[in-house]
Amino acid sequence: MNTRRDGIFPEEVIIQILARLPVKSLFRSKAVCKLWYRLSSEKYFGQLYNEVSIRNPMILVEISQSSESKSSLICVDNSRGVSDISLDFLKDRVKIRASCNGLLCCSSIPDKGVYYVCNPMTREFKLLPKSRERPVTRFHPDGEAVLVGLACDSTYQKFNVVLAGYHRTFGHRPDGSFISLIYDSESNKWRKFISIQDEQFTHMNRNQVVFVNSSLHWLTMSCTHILVLDLNHDIWSTMPLPYEVRCRTGNRLYLLEYDGCLSVIQISDAWMNIWVLKDYGKDEWCMVDRVSLRCIRGLVPGVFPISQTGEYVLLATHKHVLVYHRKSRVWKEMYSVKNSSTLPLWFSAHAFRSTVFSCHVKGEKVAFKLELHVNLM
């Protein structure tokens, strides 16, 4: 790589600066000159951008107004504040079912069984092909998959979508068969396998699915173990929670990611304990932080952690989005609802981060798809 050519800074420095820009600003920077366009279009840059963005997770929150049938979507960023996000490029009414590494999996509201994977920052999307099977109409209990998971592997530029639920024949109760459909972006096809499960899930358990170690993870309603789907071998298994977590009653548990590791946050009336799975193969958990909730005592019954890093934790309540800075041990309000909403903010909050990941099938170069009708220098 050249060190200085015609510019003031070496290319290595320019790349590092570009990798820290918001995606929209990055689009604009491509129109500055040919050098910036080339640097920000290289595959290496896409990987670097994703690595940098991991350190700055955000949360997406759907705001539903009681007086309106429509809802809006906001992005809460600890570094840049609050901004509006739109999914209007999908040309459909959708709800977010899963989020992973900057991509969203959305299901169509008017058309059951229609799913999209999109990058709201680049406004790219992919309409997933319909499976030859028709299990979605037979899923229990609401006609949709009980579990929806999105696994986005930015290193290998691929993703999987998982739809799983209990099968029932029309007019009968579920027979215990747990049907799993997995979409593979590399083959652009679905695969199916059937197992036997007897698990139940709360709304938050279903929302907080974590992709770690080539597997998707859900916390079950019993809060005694984690349900794991190994995407390399299509095998369901269970993983025990820390003994100190399982043996205490009255606490609320949430499953999150922590700097690439699986994490469980345990909330009581006065404390928030953060557990991290340090050794995935040996199921070795350790408590990395213990946070006093005295400063937000009145909000504790309705506070839900949504996203975290080693530096801070983003949480949602009924009307607020909070950030806790772990080093300074300071709480800060990032967003608050000015009027009443139909649903609490935590009900439709998802972990998120900025990415330039392309949601198209294998073979397409990782690059920005925004058309720039400008004359480059």
Handedness of CA 283, 286, 288, 293 (dihedral sign): positive
Handedness of CA 86, 91, 97, 98 (dihedral sign): negative
Handedness of CA 291, 294, 296, 297 (dihedral sign): positive
The share of the chain scoring above pLDDT 90, in percent, equals 39
Provide CB contacts within 8 A for 245, sequence distance 6+. Answer: 223, 251, 253, 264, 266, 273, 275
- Residue pair 17/7 in contact (Cβ under 8 Å)? The answer is no
pLDDT tens readout for residues 183-237: 999 999 999 998 887 777 777 778 889 999 999 999 988 888 899 999 999 999 9
Record the tokens describing residue 321, joined without a space. Answer: 């989005």
- Residue pair 72/62 in contact (Cβ under 8 Å)? The answer is yes
- In this predicted structure, what is the pLDDT of residue 283? 84
Nearest to 150 by CA among 193, 106, 98, 189: 98
Residue 263 CA to chain centroid, in angstroms? 14
Q: How far apart are alpha carbons 228 and 165 in whole angstroms?
A: 14
Distances in whole angstroms, Cα of residue 17 to Cα of each of 10, 11, 13, 48: 11, 10, 6, 11
The reported pTM is 0.83
Q: What ranges in the chain are assigned the alpha helix state H?
A: 11-18, 23-29, 34-41, 43-53, 203-207, 243-246
Hey, what amino acid is at 323? V
Report CA dihedral (341, 343, 345, 347) to the nearest 10 degrees. Answer: -170
- In this predicted structure, what is the pLDDT of residue 261? 93
List of the chain residues with pLDDT < 70: 1-7, 27, 31, 37, 41, 65-70, 132-144, 168-175, 247, 340-342, 360-377
Record the tokens describing residue 156, joined without a space. Answer: 């290998």
Region for residue 8 given its phi and psi (left: phi exceeds 0; alpha: psi -120 to 50; beta: otherwise): alpha
Give pairs for 84-91: CB < 8 Å, separation 24+: 85/60, 85/120, 86/120, 87/118, 87/120, 89/118, 89/123, 89/125, 90/116, 90/118, 90/125
Q: How far apart are alpha carbons 272 and 292 in whole angstroms?
A: 6
Strand partners, 290: 273
SS3 readout for 201-259: CCHHHHHCCEEECCEEEEECCCCCEEEEEECCCCEEEEEECCHHHHCCCCCEEEEEEEC
- In this predicted structure, what is the pLDDT of residue 175? 66
